[in-house]
Amino acid sequence: MKSLARWLGGEGGRTTLRRVSPEKAKAVARERRRETVPQAGEKIAIAVAAVAVTSAVIGSGADLGPRGWCGLVGLVGVATALFQRYLVDFRREVLCSVTRVGALAALIVLPVVATRAFDVFVGLEQAAFLPLSAIALVIALVWNRRFSLECTAFIGALLGLYFMLHTERSFVDLSGLAVALAGATVAALSAVHVKRRSTLVKVGVVIGLAQMLVAGTFLLMGSSDALTPAAFGRLFGLGVVGFSSGLLVSGLLPAIEALFQVTTAISLLELGNTHEQPLLRKLLLEAPGTFHHSYIVGLLSEAAAEAVGADALLARVGALYHDVGKLNKPDYFAENSPEARGKHKELTPEMSMLIISAHPRDGVELGRYYGLPQALLDFMPEHHGTLVIEYFFHAARKLRGDENVSEDSFRYPGPRPQRIETAIVMIADAVEAISRQMPDPSRARLEEMVHEVAFKRLMQRQFDECAMTLKDLALIEKAFLRVLLAIYHQRPTFPKGKPHPLDLSQPSEDRRAVQEEQRAAAARPSAGARA
For the segment 174-190, what is each residue's pLDDT rounded down to a tens digit? 788 889 999 999 999 98
The residue out of 204, 227, 260 marking a domain boundary is: 260
- What pLDDT is attached to residue 261? 77
Pair 63, 162 in one domain: yes
Pair 295, 147 in one domain: no
Q: Is the residue at 2 inside a domain?
A: no
- What pLDDT is attached to residue 420? 94
Say whether 195 sits in a helix, a strand or coil.
Answer: coil
85: left (phi over 0), alpha (psi -120 to 50) or beta: alpha
- What pLDDT is attached to residue 501? 72
Pair 358, 392 in one domain: yes
Q: Is the residue at 25 inside a domain?
A: no
Pair 206, 157 in one domain: yes
- What pLDDT is attached to residue 199? 83
Question: Can you list the residues of the chain whose pLDDT is less than 70?
Answer: 1-43, 169-173, 222-227, 491-497, 525-531
Pair 460, 408 in one domain: yes
The residue out of 204, 231, 260 marking a domain boundary is: 260
Q: Is the residue at 520 inside a domain?
A: yes
Pair 323, 346 in one domain: yes
Q: What is the CATH number of the domain that holds 294?
A: 1.10.3210
Pair 290, 398 in one domain: yes
What range does the domain containing 507 cover? 497-531
CA distance 390 to 404: 16
CA distance 175 to 127: 8
Pair 221, 311 in one domain: no
CA distance 202 to 217: 23
Task: Give kind and range of the element (H or E) at residue 321.
Answer: helix 312-321
Pair 231, 170 in one domain: yes
- What pLDDT is attached to residue 21? 47
Q: Is the residue at 20 inside a domain?
A: no
Q: Is the residue at 159 inside a domain?
A: yes
Q: What are phi and psi of 492, to 5 degrees?
A: -60, 135
Q: Is the residue at 5 inside a domain?
A: no
Candidates 323, 417, 335, 333; CA nearest to 361 is 323
At CA 415, angle to CA 409 and CA 416, rounded to 5? 100
Q: What is the pLDDT of residues 452-469, one digit of tens each?
A: 999 999 999 999 988 889
Handedness of CA 409, 413, 417, 422 (dihedral sign): negative
154: left (phi over 0), alpha (psi -120 to 50) or beta: alpha
- What pLDDT is attached to residue 12? 37
The residue out of 260, 275, 295 marking a domain boundary is: 260
- What pLDDT is attached to residue 2? 38
Pair 216, 291 in one domain: no
Say whether 426 sits in a helix, a strand or coil.
Answer: helix
The 8-class DSSP code of residue 263 comes to: -
Pair 353, 479 in one domain: yes
Spatial contact of 314 and 421, defined as CB atoms under 8 Å apart: yes
The domain tally of the chain equals: 3
Spatial contact of 390 and 353, defined as CB atoms under 8 Å apart: no
CA distance 144 to 192: 9
State the average pLDDT for the chain.
Answer: 83
Q: Is the residue at 393 inside a domain?
A: yes
Q: Is the residue at 3 inside a domain?
A: no
pTM tops 0.85, yes or no? no
Pair 392, 502 in one domain: no
